[in-house]
Every structure is written in C-alpha cells, then in structure tokens.
Structure 1
C-alpha cells in the first residue's frame, strides 16, 4: 500500500531542499505528501549524501553508514507513507551483532539475544548480569521517553518541555550526570566499559562530557540488536528516494547551489549551476555552516564564525574501502578493534585534536552476511579510524595509518591481506569537505554534550530569514542516521506550520 499525495494547502508551494542525505530525503517526502512541489538540489551525481554507494570490480561499497540500530525510526517513517520496511529490503538481525577485539586472541562476540549478552557479562565480571539488566532497563526508559516525547520536538525553546509529566521524566533521563560516571556505577572491568562506551566515542564526545541520557544507545545496540539491510545501506537511501519520487519530488543532481537570493528577509530565489529558480521556502539539509557562510550574506547569518569555532564536534574519520580476493575467516560483520588505549584516543580526538598515536578502529565486512556486495570468494572491507576534525590528510599520512591498521588487522586475522587486494580507496577530511562542504571535514556533526543537546543545538529555523529551515546532523536531534531521519521530519513539519500560518 502507498499513500497518495494530499493537498492541505491552498496552492502548491514551491519548496527547495538543499542536499539529499537522509534528512533531506525525509523532509522532501513529507512536504510533497502534504501538497508541496518539492525540488531537491544535490551537488553530487548520486542521491544519498553520506549514504551513497559506489561499485568497482564487482564490489559494492557503502560509503558511510553501516550500523542499523533503532529500527523503529525507519519503521515509523515508512508507515507515514503506507509502507513497511520489507517493501524495500530484507532486514537481517546479525548474530553476533558485533565483535570487540582486545587482542589477537581475545575477542568478545556480542550475541543477538539479550539473555545471552547478560550471560557474557556475567562470565567476564561476576554479578554484572543483574547490573546490566538494570542499566539497560534505564536505557530503555530513556529511549522510549526520548523517542516518543522529546526527540521530535523542534528545539525552539525550553517551553516545549514544560509539561509536568515530561519534567518528571526528565529527572530520570540523567541529563546532568556524566555517561562515564554512570557506567562506572555498574561495571568495573575495562572490557565491559569499552563495550558500553564505544557508541559515545564513535558518534559523540568524551564519555565524561556526554550526558548519561545516551545510555539509550546501549539499549538499542545490546537489546534491540544490530541489523543489516540486505544489499547494503544504499538500499535504505534508495528506499527514501523511491518514497520521495512517489510523492512527486523532483531530484536535480550535480547541482551546486551558489546563492540564496533574499528580498525583505525572505528567500525569493535559489541559484544553482548559474540558473535561478523561484521558491517559497528552503530546507537546508546540507552542512549548516556552509549554507550560512557560502550561500547567505553576512547580515542574514544566524551564527558568527566564532560560534562554530567553539562547538564540540563529533569525530571525522579516515576510511579505507578494500576489495580482497579471498575470505578472511576470523572477521565478523562488525569488528571493533579496542586493542589500544580508549582514553588516549578520545583525548586525541576531542582535546589535543591531532592524528592519534595508537588509534582504535573499526572494520565492517558486509560480505560475511551479504554475498551481493563482493564477487564469489572475496571480501568487502570498510575500515574506519575516528580522528579529530580539521586535520590535514595528505596521501603520505593516509598510507602511514593504512599500514599501521593493516598490521594489526593481519595480526588478528592470522593471515596476509594486503597482497590479496583487488581494490583500495581512501577517504578522509578533505573528501568530506569536497563532497559535502562539511565544516572542517566533520563526518558526524556535533558531539552529544549537554550544552549541545535539544534547545542548545543550532536552531532548526533561521533567526534572520523567515522561510529558511535547517535539517541534518548539525541541528536537532543530532548525529547518526535515525536522528537525521527525525530531523528531516521535524523540519518539514515546522515548514508546513509556517506555510499554513
């Protein structure tokens, strides 16, 4: 079943959406469903933003997202249009969900079943199974309150949270308790601490600077489970594009937006590739800082440059896409290499902002689950090392880290990999800048610190331009695919209110 477009407005407003990542795709589909005439402007040749894919030598590489958590967020979006997830792709629950590697002979496989996860914890730290159940129950409460009552709020004002029930619940969300301190009230073994804290490091901030609210991510990862969309994450982005096109959205790819023309505080035209198009409103789902500084004159910017300089950003990353001509027995689908010091790497990302001395890293091997992403008998590898934003990334540095990471990967695997490469491509900060206009090459947006949560994020509605709204990882709710989907929905709904005022 598919939802038909419905016109709730007197006429069909012309809406421009800048960027076709998940937030832009979600926003465009919702706006079109409600009767707007929507055009999406995408600077790259393909739709999908960071969730683009590319094919080479029989391999299909997901360029960005690889973790499918919070499946209910995807389900909820599809349901808006009368669809279910299975209409677009097969969703497979991974078992093990992922593996944490502490050394060549020390691997922690995270089972798909939560009872088995509790058994694993108990085997590592006696008494921790019961503590894990309590910890995850708290995370589940935060997840449901956050996802049902808080996360879909636009973050305009603190008054949005002025209901008695929400205020009462907010006390249990532990916004003012450090994630690091919270975790250490339950667990002591450094391996369990690393397992619990890894989502914060890879997507957030220093655990000590992150609110304990974000244990909701542990509920999703350890109890809901880790899933994989067969065919790769590109299938998910493609499903959003399909829905948008079904609603009548027009996609214009290879379109570089150069200027937003403003008359009396309102955008009148959008300029792309030398052409001008009239518009009634704009949703900027591309990089917030780029839209503000490159497309708007200074007097129309909501934030000065100093504002962005003082934000805490989630990591950028150094990526390698590798095609290997043999199977690698010891690898799982998701592999987290925590065989170096967690705290040191976190400090190098968030405090020192330098290339790390002994980094943690992550290897995704989707060909373990999905034969369609690699030729028969081959492996598709995605290697990711979190780094600080704004680092210079010349080829010599990329190669230095490639060899260092591969030394450790081959030591763990117990076999040679480098001499079996059929394909290799690197990607890092300068690529994020060139492809996505990402501020200082950021990969994930703003870190999840207390002063960058909810109302403290950059505002979804421009302070200076009446018909300009923002979506994506630099505004509410934050980094990651599910938050970006939600962001697009919020921005679309706020724009609809503006049009109907």
Structure 2
C-alpha cells in the first residue's frame, strides 16, 4: 500500500480549514500551522466578561455554499450542531434626515417600503432590479464560483463568455441601481453592500448586486454562538478525517528546492522543518509572496495592486440593553459619494463616515449577559499607506490613526444619538478596538486591508492571482486575494476549486459532487411536463389576425 501524500497548510482561516478537511477526506496526511492561538482568522471571537463579539463577519450570506461544504464532507450543519438563526429584518438603514427604512425578505413589507418612496411604479422597477441581480447571482455561482480561471483564455470559454455582458462588469453598482431606482434614498439603500467587497459602489462592478440579492432572496443568517462556530465545526470534521492542527506556530518561510523548483514544505519560526508533498498557503497572499516565498517579480507586482479598504472596529460591552438598535443597523453619510472618496481615494476616515452597527445579542441572547447588550461597530476607512504605514503616519495624507480612531468613535456616538436617541457612550463598560495597524499585525494583512485585494474588473477572474504558483511546483493558494475572491462563502467555494485542482494535478478522484442544484422528486407530480398547446385558441388568434390584415389591406 502506497504512503499517503502529505500537505502542509499555512494558516487556519476559512480557506485553510475547509481545504484541510477536503484534502484529508481525499486521503492526504494534512498538517495545518497557524501563527495565532486560535483557528478562524478574522472569523474568530472576542470575549469580555460574558460579552461575545464576532471579530470579523457578523452575518452569514449565501447559505447554500455553507451547506454544500458540509455535505461534501459527508455531514451537515445541523449534524455538527450549528444552528442558523434568520435575522428579520435584514437591516435598518438610518438616514441623516431622520428617516429609517427596513430591508427585508418579506415581499409584502418591501412592496410597502418601495412604494412609499418611489410610488406604485417603483415596486415594478424593484422587481426588475431583483431579476437582474438574480442573473448576476446565478451566473456567478455557476460560471465563476465553481470554475477556475487559471489562464486568460478561460474567460473566452463558450460556457462563460455569453454570460459576461449579463454580469455588467464594466458598469458600477451605482449606475445599475440608478437605472431602476429614481430616488437617491433607495439608490443608497441598494448599493452600500459593495462594502462587503471592500469597494466603493461608484467603482464596484455591477455584478456584485448579487450580494444584496442573496440577502433579499435568501435572507441574512446568524450562527447561534457566533460566526466561529461554523469554522469550529469544520475543524472538528477535519480532525475526524485525521487533520493535525498546530496553533501558535508561525511559519518563517516556504521551502523551495532550487533545482526542481518545487515546494518541499515549510520552515517554522522555531527552526523546525515540516516536509510535505504539497504546500497550500492560506496566509494573506501579498504577505505570503513578500515574506514567505523567494523574492520574485510577482511579489512586487502584487504589492502594487489596489487593495480593499480597512476598518476601525469597536467592540463595546454595554451595561444595559439598547432598545433603539436592531440586529443590523447601517448609518449612511449625507454626503454619500464623498464619504467613499475619502476612503478609497484619500485613504482616510470620511469627514462624515457611514458605518455599520451590529447587536448580536438582539438575535442571540448568549452574546451578552442577561439585561445587557454587546455592540460591534465597523467604520470603513482607508488602508495603511506605504512609507509611514507601520507608524501610522504618512506625510502626504497625514494618516494619524490615533486622531482618526477618536474621530470615528465620536462620529458614531453623535450620529446614533441624533438619529435613534440612544446614548451609547454613557453605557459602555469596556471597549476593544481593531485598527488597520492591528489587522495587519494580528493577521498579517497587507496594508491592514481587511478584504484583501480589490475586486475591480482587472482584479478578478483571470486577472486575479492564481490558485497555483506559476513557477513553483506543488505550491497552491486559497483565500480572499486568490480566485474567486473575498468573503467567507466565496472563500469556501475557492477551497473547493483549489483542492480540486490539487487532486486533478495528481490524477486523483475528487470525493465530492460538482455541486449542482438538484430538484426534489417524490412522485409523478414533480415531473417536468411540456407546456400544453391550446390549439383552438391558437387557430382563433391566427384567424383574427388574418381578418384584421385583410381589412387593413382592402381599406388602402
């Protein structure tokens, strides 16, 4: 019996955890090394005296991709003890003029909301926007999230090319929304979701309306116990297949044989060498190329690519329940466009920031002690600039992070008080903060960009860094900055692509299904039938048209 292939995975983020379980199921001997003392990367938890916070993602989107990952591993979310709670409404969106609108999966509620601001015709336009976003969503899942784009020619394959125009990659989300919504209010309400990709709605390709589509069509979900319970379940599944996790184990560099140009394993910071047939890197891609791999032109090129935004994130333990706030709250700046320009063009915190407030204890009481709330505030801001990045100052744009954190905190207090009446400042018992510098230090994120490389058109598909190194054999990548992109469900899909590529390269069978949707079939009632042709009505219609044409002809 031949010895099983070995793989070392660098990083225990979403991509590393999911890939470890998949490769172990396929028969590999898998070791995961992680610099931090916990798994999950940015999807880890923060705890404070009975309060629990999601450090990164606080809502679960595209639930089918999560279900698929577990089914591929011969289990289910439910079997692993993961309980998903539906958040309703999706969001409360607060505006500077005192108005607040709810976004919901409830079509009746959305009809009332849309018609209130855009009249009776507005709901028809909303449904048309949903139809377009539905195409963006379904086409992306089939032709992007399940396919690799390892060469430029992959974009020309017959199965994908006809769909490209329908994805509207050369128009912004803002311009697409403006075709359907007449008011500035609803254009803003249906475009702020581009921040999931770390991009401005005025720059993000129209394709990404799929994100708000999935919220409205499939709902927003929250894993009871915090987002990390999903990844913790994947860790347990992997361990059942034999995965070994080594936490608090930073990697010094990937070992590359100079003669064969093949990755042979990793050297740990301790000096220990772990040999392997395959190395899969789940660390931040720009960091990996510049710090873990031999110097190369690709490393310099990646460093020059546009990055996503960063965030100043506050985690507040409250001494009471804040009834004015719902589970998911979005506060939009009055000067909407300029606020994004401050982030993406000037790499600062906006003069008047838009921000997101999550109260996990509203949907999951275990997130806070009884009678109290846990509050997470995410204020998008620019990423660290080169030169003065490490010390938080840049002579050109004056990135004074201490001042910007103070500005962000005060802006949140003032905006929430004015728009909702809630006095947050008076009820905070403890504060924990993440800044671009701490994101960088804790998770090795290049420039502190929380969502990796940008997702502009020339940074996706075949233009995005590949899932396999172009020069070094046996070296693969998974994570936010590789294909297909950022976000937990997208990285889960990427894990399936990368591990499938490894198995294909080794001539091994993939022990999971391709992932196509299957209809439920119980009886003959579920068989697809042809649309019946009403012959009599068709003959009558044709006769009427003939007579009408005859009348018009004779009257000339």
Which of the five TM-score ranges fits, normalised by the shorter chain?
over 0.9
Match of 2:262 among 261, 266, 282: 266
Q: Does the CA contact (< 8 Å) of 2:352 and 2:411 recur in 1? A: no
Residue of structure 2 in register with 1:4 after alignment = none
Match of 2:277 among 244, 263, 280: 280
Match of 2:290 among 285, 293, 296: 293
Q: Does the CA contact (< 8 Å) of 2:353 and 2:408 recur in 1? A: no
Structure 1 length normalisation: TM-score? Answer: 0.94
CA distance in 1, matches of 2:423, 2:167: 47
Q: Is the partner of 1:220 in helix, strand or coil?
A: helix
Q: Which has the higher contact order (CA 8 A, sep 6+)?
A: 1
Q: What is the 5 A alignment of 1:411-426? A: 411-426=418-433
Q: Give unpaired runs (5+ residues) of structure 1.
A: 1-8
Residue of structure 2 in register with 1:113 after alignment = 106
1:409 corresponds to 2:435: no
1:218 corresponds to 2:212: yes
CA-CA distance at 1:170 after TM superposition? 2.5
Residue of structure 1 in register with 2:64 after alignment = 72
**Closer, same or farther in 2 for the Cα pair 1:165/1:270, shift >3 Å?**
closer
Q: Does the CA contact (< 8 Å) of 2:340 and 2:350 recur in 1? A: no
Name the stretch that deviates more: 389-398 or 89-98: 389-398
CA-CA distance at 1:16 after TM superposition? 0.6
Residue of structure 2 in register with 1:58 after alignment = 50
Deviations 1:383-417 (A, max 9, x none): 00011111526444323321221122233332332
Name the stretch that deviates more: 151-160 or 468-477: 151-160
CA-CA distance at 1:10 after TM superposition? 4.9
Residue of structure 2 in register with 1:463 after alignment = 470
Q: Whose radius of gyration is greater, 1 or 2?
A: 2
Deviations 1:364-401 (A, max 9, x none): 00111111010000000000001111152644432332
Deviations 1:261-319 (A, max 9, x none): 21121122311132111111111111111111111121xx361424422x222211000
Name the stretch that deviates more: 93-102 or 389-398: 389-398
Residue of structure 2 in register with 1:239 after alignment = 233
**Closer, same or farther in 2 for the Cα pair 1:397/1:339, shift >3 Å?**
closer
**Closer, same or farther in 2 for the Cα pair 1:165/1:486, shift >3 Å?**
closer
Q: Is the partner of 2:191 in helix, strand or coil?
A: helix
Q: What is the 5 A alignment of 1:15-414? A: 15-87=7-79, 88-103=81-96, 105-126=98-119, 127-263=121-257, 264-272=260-268, 273-298=270-295, 301=296, 303-309=298-304, 311-390=305-384, 392=392, 394-414=401-421
Q: Does the CA contact (< 8 Å) of 1:22 and 1:237 recur in 2? A: yes
CA distance in 1, matches of 2:174, 2:145: 23
Deviations 1:69-95 (A, max 9, x none): 111110111110222222232112111
Structure 2 length normalisation: TM-score? Answer: 0.85
Q: Is the partner of 2:31 in helix, strand or coil?
A: strand
Deviations 1:45-104 (A, max 9, x none): 001100011221111111101121111110111110222222232112111111101037
CA-CA distance at 1:171 after TM superposition? 2.8
**Closer, same or farther in 2 for the Cα pair 1:302/1:252, shift >3 Å?**
farther
- CA-based RMSD of the aligned residues comes to 1.8
CA distance in 2, matches of 1:103, 1:162: 46
Name the stretch that deviates more: 265-274 or 200-209: 200-209
CA distance in 2, matches of 1:104, 1:89: 40
Q: Is the partner of 1:209 in helix, strand or coil?
A: coil
Q: Does the CA contact (< 8 Å) of 1:283 and 1:491 recur in 2? A: no
Q: Does the CA contact (< 8 Å) of 1:117 and 1:222 recur in 2? A: no
CA-CA distance at 1:202 after TM superposition? 4.3
CA distance in 1, matches of 2:419, 2:174: 29
Q: Is the partner of 2:480 in helix, strand or coil?
A: coil
CA distance in 1, matches of 2:489, 2:424: 34
Deviations 1:408-449 (A, max 9, x none): 223333233222222211111111111111101110112221
Residue of structure 2 in register with 1:486 after alignment = 493
CA distance in 1, matches of 2:18, 2:297: 24
